[in-house]
Each structure stands twice: as structure tokens, then as C-alpha cells.
Amino acid sequence: MDLVRKQIRMKLCFPLLSWMVVSLTMTMPSCTAQPKSPLSGHIELNPEWKSMIYMVKPRHFNEIAADYLGQVIDSASISSDGSFSFNHLPFPASPLLIELVVQKKGVRYANHLSDENPDEANYMPLVLLPEETVVVDAGLTNFQKSSTIENPSPDNQAMIGLRDKRLNAYAILQSELTEELQDDSLLLEKEDVYVRYRKVLMDYAQSTGSLEAGMVAIRWVSPTGDFERTPEFLHGQCMKWKEIKPQHPFTAELCAAADEDALPVMIGDEMPDYTMPLLAGDTMKLSTMLGSRMTLIDIWASWCAPCRKENREILAPLWASYKDKGLQIIGYSIDSNGASWKTAISKDGATWTHASHLSGDDSPFMEALRITTIPANYLLDTNGKVLAKNVFGEELKTLVTEYLK
């Protein structure tokens, strides 16, 4: 009888125990860890901006910081409290450069990067890391400028440092671009302002040990990929990263862009020994016209206002002071009208050697130098080796004076 009662009690207990297990399973928190996000954070909302944030991946060097070119690989909604989290992508196997992007309402494409004014840039370059969540805090307006990263990795610390350098340099640039510099004759002075701005980015690219920050810095030096005025910098960056990270795809693509055979003639190169059609009507090889101590090749045109100003205010005084002390000046014009060329020479008092193919923008000499921009100049030693290039104004006066004194 006791055995029967015991069996009945056990039969009654088993369903009860089963119900308790199911109930506990349903009410207790799961012990299974929630998937971590490679990127999350908080955004200060603005009604003029979409409540979405996008992850854009530059697949190639020329897609870095490039409008519409990067690949959108994920997106996340920004909650009403400003939080967001990317949960659809796994952590990268190795450091991955991405651009975190926000868009105003009405903007159609998620990979549109607004970068004309760094103060208002709508994206922030970041480096995602294996098994490490990157946490970002920012505002939708002035997104790049306001972005902060919680406990940033060395790569992301380098990216923040680059961002801050650019913002500071841009503020200086804006303060120096005065109304006066809008005059066409002051184009060289205006260019010098931009040269100083770019130098900040170039110096950062040279000093950083982060490949990702370095690549962004290179692209920010020239977002259009035009390194005609700075080929030495591009070539130097190729040499740097070939030594540090030779296997990285960005390194190979950077070095393809920095091919010496495609870049303009650089400092340290020998000037092409080109045959020049001279003003007097004859032709001579450049090597036969070199000065006994220094040669200045000045590339100009009669219609180029800063070129004419340089003729009158810089080259004419230099010629008067040093033509008997080993200086040769060869002016090469890209004019197409011979009368205009000769009139400009006369008006500017440019009594040094002159040459031109009178072929305008299709100048074969410009093609040999692989350049398209004037004013341009090259300072050569007695063997035709390039000592310096694109030095103008008082800086040119000082350089020539110091070299020939």
C-alpha cells in the first residue's frame, strides 16, 4: 500500500517538476551571450537629418574619402534615445578601414561624402578591429568634427589626431584666404596658402605609424588624386609603406599611383634634354644652354597674370643681378599666338632666353615633363639635375641668392 502511494506521488510530481522547469526556462534570463557589435554608440539627433547611420567601406585606395565610390556594407537605425548598433556584420579578421556616414533628409545615396568644408563633413573614418567594439559618440550636424571614440585603439587615436590637425589647418586656411587674394595676379600667393594647409596633412602622413590614418591623410592632401605639385610626397609615401606594410592592398594601389614613369619630373631627377624652338628661330638642346652654375626654367604664358607678375617683379631683378654670375634663365611659353608671346616678353623686360612650340595646351615640352599647370619652374644644377621646383616670389629670390653667393 505504501509502495502504491509512493508511485502515485511520483507520478504527480513529475508533471509538476516538468512544468517548473519550463516555467523557469521561460522566465529566467538566457545564459547565452548576445552577439557583440563591431561598432555602436550614441548620436545627438537632428530633425533635418535621417535617423540612420551607414557603414561605408573603401575597397581601393582611390575610394578612400571619395564621394559616392565607397561600398555601403551595413546600416543601422538610430533609436529615439540616440543609440545605434551594427549587428549584421561579423568582426573583421584584421584591421578594417571604414567610413561612418550620416545623411541629411532628401539625400538619395548613402555613400555621399560631403567634405568641401571639414567643419561640416558628414563622415568619420574609423578602423574596426578583431573582437573589439568601437564605441562612437557624435552629433548629426558637424558629424566628423564632433565624433569621439571611447578608449580608442592606437589606429583610431591616430585617426582622431589627423582629424584634429585638419580642422586646425582648415581654420588657418580660411583666415588667410582674404578678399585680396581673389585677384588673378595673386594666384601664386593664394596657392601658397593651400600649400601650407596641405603640408600639415603631408607631415602627418609622414609621421604616423598607422597605415589607415596615413592613407586617409594622403587622400585628404588631394581628394581629386591630383599630385602634380607634390609628386615627391606621393612617391615618398609609397616607399614608406612598401617597407612597413608591403602586403597591404592599399600599399600596392598607392604605389601604382606613385609610378615614377607617370609622375611629373621630381626633385633629384635629371631634366629631359629636350630640343627647344627658340625665339630667334633656331633650335637648341637644353643641355647646351645650361648656366655655368644654375639654370632656372620658367614655364609661363602671355595670358597668365601671375606669370607676368613673376616676370616683372622676380625674374627681371634676378637676371639683372646674376646673369654674369652663372645664372641662366630659360622661359618656355605655352602660348599659341606668336605675336602675343613676343609682346609680353618685350613689355615685361624679359631679356633672358625664350623658347616655345606655340602649340598652346598641347605643348610637347609640358607633355615630356608630365605637367599641365602653370606657372611652373625648375631650378637645375650644371648637370641638369633638378635642385628645386615650383619656388616663386621672395622664396625664389632667396634660394637663388643663397646658391650663387
| CATH code, 310 | 3.40.30.10
Q: Are residues 99 and 134 in the same domain?
A: yes
| Whether 129 contacts 37, CB under 8 Å | no
Q: Are residues 200 and 146 in the same domain?
A: no
Q: What average pLDDT is seen over the chain? A: 92
Burial zone of 78 (CB within 10 Å; 0-12 exposed, 13-18 middle, 19+ buried): buried
370: phi > 0 → left, psi -120 to 50 → alpha, else beta; which?
A: left
Over 90: is that where the pLDDT of 192 sits?
yes
* Residue 264 domain-assigned (yes or no): no
Q: Are residues 133 and 188 in the same domain?
A: no
Over 50: is that where the pLDDT of 21 sits?
no
Q: Are residues 253 and 341 in the same domain?
A: no
More confident of the two residues 13 and 233: 233
* Residue 30 domain-assigned (yes or no): no
User: Lowest-pLDDT range, 83-87, 180-184, 259-263, 392-396?
Assistant: 180-184
% of the chain exceeding 70 in pLDDT = 91
pTM of the model: 0.89
* Residue 287 domain-assigned (yes or no): yes
* Residue 23 domain-assigned (yes or no): no
What is the pLDDT at residue 131?
A: 85
Over 70: is that where the pLDDT of 281 sits?
yes
Which of 257, 283, 302 is the last residue before a domain boundary? 257
Instruction: Tell me the average pLDDT across 374-386.
Output: 98
What's the total number of domains in the chain? 3
What is the pLDDT at residue 36?
A: 80
Q: Are residues 181 and 291 in the same domain?
A: no
More confident of the two residues 400 and 6: 400
Q: Are residues 44 and 144 in the same domain?
A: yes
Cis before 277 (ω within 30) = no
User: Which residue from 25, 33, 97, 28 is spatially nearest to 66, judged by alpha carbons?
Assistant: 97
* Residue 22 domain-assigned (yes or no): no
* Residue 354 domain-assigned (yes or no): yes
C-beta atoms surrounding 292 within 10 Å: 10
Which of 84, 119, 151 is the last residue before a domain boundary? 151
What is the pLDDT at residue 35?
A: 55
Q: Which three cell numbers stand for residue 184?
A: 588673378
Which of 151, 184, 215 is the last residue before a domain boundary? 151
Q: Are residues 284 and 385 in the same domain?
A: yes
User: Lowest-pLDDT range, 14-28, 61-75, 291-305?
Assistant: 14-28
Pairing of strands 353-356, 327-333: parallel
Instruction: Tell me the average pLDDT across 140-150.
Output: 97
User: Lowest-pLDDT range, 17-31, 122-136, 148-162?
Assistant: 17-31
The helix (H) or strand (E) run that includes residue 123 is strand 123-128
User: Which residue range(s) make up the domain with 396?
Assistant: 275-404
What is the pLDDT at residue 134?
A: 96
Instruction: Tell me the average pLDDT across 181-208.
Output: 94
Over 70: is that where the pLDDT of 28 sits?
no
Going across the sheet that includes 134-139, the strands are 83-86, 39-44, 134-139, 148-149
Helix, strand, or coil (residue 334): coil
Over 90: is that where the pLDDT of 33 sits?
no
* Residue 270 domain-assigned (yes or no): no
Give the separation between CA 369 and CA 288, rounded to whole angstroms.
Answer: 18
Going across the sheet that includes 71-77, the strands are 71-77, 52-57, 96-101, 123-128
Give me the CATH number covering residue 70: 2.60.40
Instruction: Tell me the average pLDDT across 128-138.
Output: 94
Residue pLDDT, tens place only, 294-344? 999 999 999 999 999 999 999 999 999 999 999 999 999 999 999 999 999
* Residue 15 domain-assigned (yes or no): no
What is the pLDDT at residue 185?
A: 85
